[in-house]
Structure 1
């Protein structure tokens, strides 16, 4: 799956980009018609620790899913967003099966 990663207000290192790619590739186990994923990484200049925002837009034929998570680290945000996307993809797959 193609994952487009954009980082805002900082430069993401290759290790983080590889981690995101690996985690998003696992979503294809739940729904094999995923076209691509756009990922936006943002750092807000605030005093509290949860200043990292992970946003993902997953494109499937005829629809797209958007998940936005705010966490202490991007890795935590990736995991939370991926599990949320897993639930959405499972629900979509069940709906498509029900219509057959």
Structure 2
């Protein structure tokens, strides 16, 4: 499984990258045919004082791509919400393929 983590409009610290990497590696336990995963961490509202943190996850599996986007006040929370959503999508996709 190929994993890419990209940050937009900021430089992530190693703690955040480690958190994301560890969680992404768990995706193989839900579906073993994942080709690649792309994670985008973005700052939204650059012009405003309060900046929302956005986490986007793209999962490439054979014949299908899954995409999830969440935003909140912290990257960890945004990523965790997006991760939970993508796990649910993977489980549903796997159930459909094996019915």
- TM-score normalised to structure 1 length: 0.89
SS of alignment partner, residue 76 of structure 1: helix
1:26 Cα deviation (Å)? 1.1
Aligned counterparts of 1:87 and 1:40: Cα–Cα separation in 2: 19
Query: 1:54, 1:68 within 8 Å by CA — same for their partners in 2?
Result: yes
Aligned counterparts of 2:24 and 2:79: Cα–Cα separation in 1: 8
In the alignment, structure 2 segments of 5+ residues that lack a partner are none
Aligned counterparts of 1:3 and 1:69: Cα–Cα separation in 2: 19
In the alignment, structure 1 segments of 5+ residues that lack a partner are none
How many residue pairs end up in the alignment? Answer: 97
Taking only aligned residues, the RMSD between alpha carbons, in angstroms, comes to: 1.2
Query: 1:23, 1:78 within 8 Å by CA — same for their partners in 2?
Result: no
> Which residue is equivalent to 1:11?
11
1:32 Cα deviation (Å)? 0.9
- TM-score normalised to structure 2 length: 0.90
SS of alignment partner, residue 16 of structure 2: helix
